[in-house]
Amino acid sequence: MTLSAHTEISELDSARTLFRDELIGAGLLVPSSVEGLYGRSGEFEDIIDIIDEHVKAAGEAEHGRKAPRFRFPPVFPREAFERTDYIASFPNLTGAINTFDGDNKAHAALLAERSDGKDWDHFLESAGTMLVSAACHPAYSMLTGTLPEGGKLLDIYGYCFRHEPAVDPARMQAFRMHEYVRIGTPDDAVAHRERWVERGLQVLADLGLEAEAVIANDPFFGRAGRMLAANQRNENLKTELVVKLYGDLDDGTAVVSCNCHRDHFGHTFAIDTADGRPAHSACVGFGMERIALAMLRTHGLDRRKWPSAIAV
């Protein structure tokens, strides 16, 4: 997203703030003291459920019942996080978990500093765990070794965390992603990505959303990241399905992401195909909250007035 003038940024931020306030006013989201963290109402969750029925139907249409389901908690081992190399590319989005491992005396000192209004984080240390950044990350450790002939297919759904506080309700720090992940040969991975671009567009169309597939890149960090982003685009490794939540004020919000990882995870998690080569992988990720927000933006905040074909 490139913005040419300061006034545009301001108009866009106003539109985002207004949408957020409407969602809160309608009781769909519950605000917190931290930007990007919201409670969800039951009604919001009902929309998530509707979306997931469509995602599951698409998964079954594409894969039959061949994709075993795995549901990981929002926390996973540092050791597996290290293998994703996420800290190299997205350090600013990372969530590392610290805890207190001291004795009575250290705890007393912590509480004393706390009651003096001081910071107590220096009493904590790493818990050896991280927040999950992409729903599929905890899954690759299962696959270390040699894949069966034909590779693997996984259905994964879970909470993700990305530290990027923002006023835009579509940029949450904690959100859910439903993924179909393919691990196999280079051709398997490419085909999976390609087919899910079409399937993903169909899911969004069925939900009454006007979406478009665009070549995209991840928000790689820093100077070195600019080159990684350019490579990702040049090699056509990421396609996002975007919906315009804010008219022409920006290029749209990515609600589904179709990614080819090449042999990145095959390499770092030591996953080989049956013929002994590093496995390639690809995934499609449905951003559940973003799709819900796109539906609320498109069809209105009052679900009773939604087109009957959509409201299941």
* 3-state secondary structure (DSSP) of residue 275: coil
Is 288 in contact with 177 (CB distance < 8 Å)? yes
* Nearer of residues 14 and 126 to a copy of itself, judged by Cβ: 126
* Nearer of residues 11 and 171 to a copy of itself, judged by Cβ: 171
What number of chain residues touch a copy of itself (CB under 8 A)? 71
Identity of residue 109: A
Window 217 to 256, contacts with a copy of itself (CB under 8 A): 221-224
Give me the least distance between CB of 69 and a copy of itself, in Å please.
Answer: 3
Q: Which stretch binds a copy of itself (CB under 8 A): 107-115, 238-246, 249-257, 279-287?
A: 107-115
Q: Which stretch binds a copy of itself (CB under 8 A): 2-10, 95-103, 209-217, 291-299?
A: 95-103
Window 4 to 33, contacts with a copy of itself (CB under 8 A): 30, 32-33
- CA nearest to 246, candidates 72, 8, 6: 8
* Nearer of residues 180 and 246 to a copy of itself, judged by Cβ: 180
Residue 109 interacting with a copy of itself (CB under 8 A): no
* Nearer of residues 174 and 190 to a copy of itself, judged by Cβ: 174
Residue 265 interacting with a copy of itself (CB under 8 A): no
218: which residues sit within 8 A by CB, 6+ positions away? Answer: 89, 90, 228, 229, 232, 238
* Nearer of residues 109 and 205 to a copy of itself, judged by Cβ: 109
Give me the least distance between CB of 159 and a copy of itself, in Å please.
Answer: 6
Binder among 3, 174, 190, 270 for a copy of itself (CB under 8 A): 174
Q: How far is residue 69's CA from residue 64's CA, in Å, rounded to a whole number?
A: 13
Binder among 25, 53, 60, 107 for a copy of itself (CB under 8 A): 107
Q: How far is residue 70's CA from residue 242's CA, in Å, rounded to a whole number?
A: 27
Question: Where does residue 236 fall: left (phi above 0), alpha (psi -120 to 50 degrees), or beta otherwise?
Answer: left
DSSP track, 167-205: S-TTS-SEEEEEEEEEEESHHHHHHHHHHHHHHHHHHHH
* Nearer of residues 154 and 249 to a copy of itself, judged by Cβ: 154
Token output for 106: 């250290």
Torsion angle, alpha carbons of 33, 294, 162, 36, to 10: -10
Q: Which DSSP category does 53 fall into? A: H
Backbone φ and ψ of 76, nearest 5°: -145, 165
Residue 208 interacting with a copy of itself (CB under 8 A): no
* Nearer of residues 85 and 212 to a copy of itself, judged by Cβ: 85
* Nearer of residues 99 and 236 to a copy of itself, judged by Cβ: 99
Binder among 9, 14, 45, 302 for a copy of itself (CB under 8 A): 45
Binder among 12, 51, 131, 291 for a copy of itself (CB under 8 A): 131
Q: How far is residue 172's CA from residue 121's CA, in Å, rounded to a whole number?
A: 24
Binder among 28, 51, 172, 292 for a copy of itself (CB under 8 A): 172
